[in-house]
Amino acid sequence: MTPRSLTRAAVAGLAAVALLGSAACGSGFDDSAKDTKQSSGPANLQILIGSSGDAETKAVQDAAAKWASSSGNQATVTPAQDLTQQLGQALAGGTPPDVFYVDASRFADYASVGALEPYGDKISKPEDFYESLRTTFTHDGKFYCAPKDFSTLALQINTDLWTKAGLTDADVPTTWEQLTATAQKIKAKGQVPLALGDTRDRIGAFMVQSGGWLVSKDGKQATADTPENLKALEYVKGLLTNGYARYPKQLDAGWSGEAFGKGKAVMTIEGNWIKGALQNDFPNVKYKVVALPAGPKGQGTLSFTNCWGIAAKSKFKDQAIKFVEAMTAGDQQMTFAKAFGVMPSRQSVRDQYSSEFPADKPFIDGAEYAQGPVNAPKMDSVLGDLDTGLQGLSNGNPKTILENFDKNAKAALGG
């Protein structure tokens, strides 16, 4: 799976602006969606996905064909070239697909303008989805859409370089203090201890471990400028200035997984998509995965997820919900996991997944203490500014970075 920090860099684009603008200028989606005439007969569902590659496309198309065959409906699955742009244009133009992937980072934008049908509680056993994932797709108290699958961050260790540095299992860090101590030993042997992504999608994990986060749980208040977040950024700044961590660009790499694969760092912090990337590009790298070290307030990681969005303007909402029901059934989620490496969003298949993929246990365990992306609309530029600040963290002022975020976020959230 492609690293989320890179795929997310795609355009939020004019299409999303057009979507928000069209809702702001007129009655938006809510009124017209209520008037959409529903069809109770066989549906021809149009499904738009943001695929990670051929394996995912084939798996979803096969599952859709199986559902269509057994239900008497039709289902056409189209992989998008640029999901954000194509979906934004379709929603703004009033011709959305019936079902589509919604990235957690875009969810609030779509939900806030009434583009999505809030059907989450109509799926069987909604409480079976991990609580952190349900929260991610909840807006104004409504659980909108079923989580498709998810990823979390964990710590990867190159076992050959670990041994070369004279380290043993006793050196595997489980706390910030131990991470610092282990990094000191690695640096003393002339190696780079940690390759660390230079955005909130990696550094944010330290905020969670410190007991902080960027916004309140309901997504309505900016909460970056706190002692907890300051402690996290000061710790990360210390890693960078002491040479215990390096950003990918400092290691001539496009992302941390590439630096790790090239042997330029002994450890990295990435999601379970690194497995496929290493298999494809660096098949000889031997590594193991462990939980991220705990911070002052305990364990913390970040989760990345999509939901199965249903258009508020779809004429086939009932059929679309049944389609999503089939796609999120436990056995179907396990089929997807085997096909393209994602983790099921239902807790009921957690043990089955861990048994099938024991090396990925730290990732699935992270669901219990994971923080989802910022769940608020109109935050793209605010988050982009935060990332710019984090990219200059080694020479920057952590307090100023957090103050700037809160100032910008308050303007966006209040607008």
Which residue ranges form the domains of the chain, and what is each CATH number?
Answer: 4-151+303-371 (3.40.190.10), 153-302+377-414 (3.40.190.10)
Closest among 325, 315, 306 to 64, alpha carbons compared: 325
User: E strands of 88-141, at which residues?
Assistant: 99-103, 138-139
The pLDDT profile of the chain, 415 residues, written as one tens digit per residue, is 344 433 333 334 434 444 544 443 333 444 444 557 777 778 999 999 999 889 999 999 999 999 999 999 999 999 999 999 999 999 999 999 999 999 999 999 999 999 999 999 999 999 999 999 999 999 999 999 999 999 999 999 999 999 999 999 999 999 999 999 999 999 999 999 999 999 999 999 999 999 999 999 888 999 999 999 999 999 999 999 999 999 999 999 999 999 999 999 999 999 998 988 898 899 999 999 999 999 999 999 999 999 999 999 999 999 999 999 999 999 999 999 999 889 999 999 999 999 999 999 999 999 999 999 998 899 999 999 999 999 999 999 999 999 999 999 999 998 5
Would the CA dihedral through 131, 133, 138, 143 be positive or negative? negative
The token pair at 81 is 């070239």
Residues 6+ apart with CB under 8 A from 374: 105, 214, 215, 219, 383
Phi/psi-derived region of residue 311, left when phi > 0, alpha when psi is between -120 and 50, beta in every other case: beta
Q: Measuring CA to CA, how many Å separate 127 from each of 210, 265, 318, 336, 355? A: 28, 40, 20, 21, 23
Q: Any residues with CB less than 8 A from the CB of 27 and at least 6 apart, and which?
A: none
